Structure 1
């Protein structure tokens, strides 16, 4: 390639002969210069971005960097918000598990301080040789671990909740079973089953037990329930009956005084009457019966203290 230069002053011409290698060299030099300028501008924008006062130059050099940085920050913040939400959910689950654990320990008779529910359990051990070769957790791996742990907490909470319900049901059942002694005495004067009737002298079936006690001795409800009878009976005298549910009824007869009314809700151990000798009775005592579906049951099977 030949390039001719003509001067107006000297009217002389100059000729420049460019070979292919010269052209390639020129383009190479130009490319290198462009790269140097671009790298210089990039370095300048990164290092002195906060010191640039010219708005136009700042818009050209700084804005792309800020946009990229802002996108990264937004992405990180979104991920942190998700993790914070999961951690908050797990904290709520742990609080619930702590409360369940303390209630279960109380229900089962275990001392809650033996488990230290609100303290982090101690851990330790010797450093493993593999520690030097372990890799740091990635964000994805950490997120997966949080998800798995959250699922485990949900499962444990459901199981502990079911166990707590069973224990509470058992504790409630204890109070509705006629298991407490109706009078403070260690013996009864007539047991459950066949005996010689004190009035006829013949063999007869005794449907309850008789507790000998002084007149006025408090009669207590053997279990919680609802009073379904509180009146005078021709044979039982002053009598009280309490329905404990599931067709289970306790009967208290021959009382001198009744302290509860029909339909009243009573608690286990509550005073409901006083010992007397009303009705078909030979002396002060409490005739106590337990009936299931109106069939007499042996009270000794229910009472915690019987002779």
Structure 2
């Protein structure tokens, strides 16, 4: 076998091969493509195997991380749901207590039935706004969990407002009751002289008595028949030790002939409060309290006020 090689300059060179050389050369030429194919196939398989394994592990890690995040979100959602449920229960319990309190206060104040309505939804209303496009065509949606909580909060606000109004009304009623003149100015004793004409115990003449007298034990309690402000607490001619109280609305009362005074000028007194101790100071024949009631600066008969039992 003879092989001729030609270079760039056109020069030639020939090689002669024997039988053995030709066999080896043929084998090499035939083995090069087969070896290249097999090597490429092995490298491709190795690279493909390495890519699939890494990808699988990466996916596995990503999936595991997502599962952990989903689990954490689920736990947080459940915790929030439990907290909201507890809050809802607290709001419902608070609303129940407010309703019960409001009903008791309404009954205690003897208010007209229906003026304050606890335990029923507040009255609502109003015309539909035609300017809102498609407002009447919106589909019905059931209230959500947060909507229920908002509704409860609104109901509690409504009850709170009613209770505040009721408290103010009851305070006014209590003030009116405290200022309402009723009862006797003593805790023990009896009426010894009435309002009107009588025989004066010192002169024996027929004179006008503009109050009533209550006799009793020396030093026994003298009480205010209504709440008010003390406008006199001192000695006064004819009255001895006198307490005078202004009750507002044109009313005032006087308590005379006391042995000791328990209040001072400007003091605010409650109904039934002890203001003095019974005595015989001033123009008096024995321990008693001289009780007068003035309406618009004019003395009136205390009898009708004494018989009152209060509001």
Pairwise TM-score range, normalised by the shorter structure? 0.5 to 0.7
Give me the whole-angstrom Cα distance separating, in 1, the residues matched to 2:97 and 2:250.
Answer: 40
Give me the whole-angstrom Cα distance separating, in 2, the residues matched to 1:169 and 1:262.
Answer: 25
Alignment of 1:58-207 (within 5 A): 58-59=60-61, 61=63, 88-98=90-100, 100=102, 140-185=143-188, 187-192=190-195, 194-196=196-198, 198=200, 199=203, 201-202=205-206, 204=208, 206-207=209-210
Deviates more, 1:234-243 or 1:87-96: 87-96
SS at match of 2:306: coil
By how many angstroms is 1:77 displaced?
7.2
Number of aligned residue pairs: 227
Structure 1 match to 2:20: none
By how many angstroms is 1:101 displaced?
5.3
CA contact (8 A) 1:180 1:268 kept: no
Structure 2 residue 253 is matched with structure 1 residue 250: yes
Decide which structure has the larger Cα Rg and report it. Answer: 2
Deviates more, 1:246-255 or 1:159-168: 159-168
Structure 2 match to 1:262: 265
Give me the whole-angstrom Cα distance separating, in 1, the residues matched to 2:281 and 2:218.
Answer: 11
By how many angstroms is 1:240 displaced?
1.0
Runs of at least 5 residues in structure 2 that lack an aligned partner in the other structure: 1-29, 31-54, 111-140
Structure 2 match to 1:57: 59
Quick one: structure 1 residues 149 and 304, their matched pair in 2 at CA, closer, same or farther if it must change by over 3 Å? farther
Report the RMSD for the aligned CA atoms in angstroms. Answer: 4.4
SS at match of 1:288: strand
CA contact (8 A) 2:189 2:215 kept: no
CA contact (8 A) 1:186 1:305 kept: no
SS at match of 2:303: helix
* Deviation sequence 1:94-140 (CA, Å, 0-9, x none): 444455556666667xxxxxxxxxxxxxxxxxxxxxxxxxxxxx974
Give me the whole-angstrom Cα distance separating, in 1, the residues matched to 2:58 and 2:274.
Answer: 94
Q: Residue 287 of structure 1 is aligned with which of 286, 290, 295? A: 290
Runs of at least 5 residues in structure 1 that lack an aligned partner in the other structure: 1-8, 10-52, 109-137
SS at match of 2:192: coil
Give me the whole-angstrom Cα distance separating, in 1, the residues matched to 2:286 and 2:64.
Answer: 107
